[in-house]
Amino acid sequence: MRDVLDVVVIGAGWAGLGVSHGLTHSGISHVVLERGRIGETWRSQRWNSFQFIFPKF
């Protein structure tokens, strides 16, 4: 019998890894496909002016 995947995530950048994390916690079978190194943008690209903006409650 063959295993069946519910989801295929294309790309292991910040979004793909976040989706994979959520799928894992939801118990959904999936695979992440990436042509290069996992998380490459986090390793090689830096945004010195990047800031999180959170609303004040």
| pLDDT given at position 24 | 96
Which helix (H) or strand (E) segment holds residue 23: the answer is helix 14-26
Backbone angles phi, psi at 7, to 5 degrees: -140, 145
9 C-beta neighbours (distance < 10 Å), count: 17
The string of pLDDT tens digits covering residues 45-55 is 766 666 667 77
| pLDDT given at position 1 | 52
12 C-beta neighbours (distance < 10 Å), count: 20
The string of pLDDT tens digits covering residues 4-56 is 889 999 999 888 999 999 999 999 999 999 998 888 877 777 666 666 677 77
> Could you state, in order of their start, the residue ranges of all structural domains in the chain?
7-44
Tokens for 6, please give them. Answer: 């519910």
* Cα dihedral value 30, 39, 35, 18, nearest 10: 30
